[in-house]
Structure formats: structure tokens, C-alpha cells
Amino acid sequence: MADIETSTVSEEGYASTSQVGDFDLQIDATDETGPNPNAALVATYASCYIPAFRVGGSQRGEDDLGKIQIDASADLDEDDDLESIVFDVHVEADLDDETAADVAERGEEICHVHSALRDELHADISVYPNAF
């Protein structure tokens, strides 16, 4: 048996519903009934990176990072394929530049989505400590 199993159905058009465990995830290539697949991937990447960043912080002695917000942006090529991703990571904690860079790098090593993407799609990450 696989570690992850999903089921995705499209009755018509370009929208689909994926059953992921007990959750339904609506994806729509036309952005009408849900986010498009590229947007969903960028959001999933950010959602994976936040806990990885927290674990990286904990491993570097920063146990209370407080609120973390990622403002993600992505560029598409002429074929609408993801070309680049940028994360602006806003952190409530007051981190010095060296610690922020260290935690960000450790987060990259821990993030499963980061590991799954081709190298040229890894997010360009900037961390903004003491942001809230």
C-alpha cells in the first residue's frame, strides 16, 4: 500500500475535485471554482515550508518564532509552466540576519515539497524578522 493515496475526479470541463484523506480539494485550471494547479502548488509549497521553517528554528535554538506569514509569488513561462517562485517570509521573532539565513536554509532541507521540486523551481527566500 502506498504512503499517500488520493482520488481526483472531473465530471466535465477543467475543474476537478481531489479526495485527500477526509478532505476535498477543488482545483480549476480556469480559476472559476478553485485555484489553478500552479497556484495550488505554490500555496502547498508555502504551507509545507512554514512548519519546516519552525523546525529549523527550533534546531537552531529559536523555539518561539511567533507568527509566520509567507507572501509567495511565482512567474510562468510562455507555456504557463512555473518558472520561478519567491517566498517573502515574515517572522514575528527578532532574528539577526545570520540566524534568519540559517533557519531558512534548514527549512529548505526539511521541506518535503522543496525536495520534490526541480532545483530551478526552488523558492528564492527572503526572511523579514520582527515583522509583527
**pLDDT tier for residue 132 given thresholds of 50, 70 and 90:** confident
Residues 97 and 108 in one domain: yes
Residues 80 and 51 in one domain: yes
The whole-model pTM stands at 0.89
Residues 22 and 50 in one domain: no
Cβ neighbours around 63 below 10 Å, total: 10
pLDDT tens sequence across 3-60: 888 999 999 999 999 999 999 999 999 999 999 999 999 999 999 999 999 999 999 9
Question: In which domain, by residue range, is 12 found?
Answer: 1-34
Q: Residue 90: in which H helix or E strand, if any?
A: strand 82-91
> Coil, strand or helix: which one is 110?
helix
Residues 72 and 103 in one domain: yes
Question: Rounded to an integer, what is the distance from CA 95 to the centroid of its chain?
Answer: 21
Residues 6 or more apart whose Cβ sits within 8 Å of residue 26: 15, 16, 17, 33, 34
Residues 75 and 116 in one domain: yes
Residues 6 or more apart whose Cβ sits within 8 Å of residue 73: 85, 86
Residues 26 and 42 in one domain: no
CATH of the domain at 86: 3.30.300.20
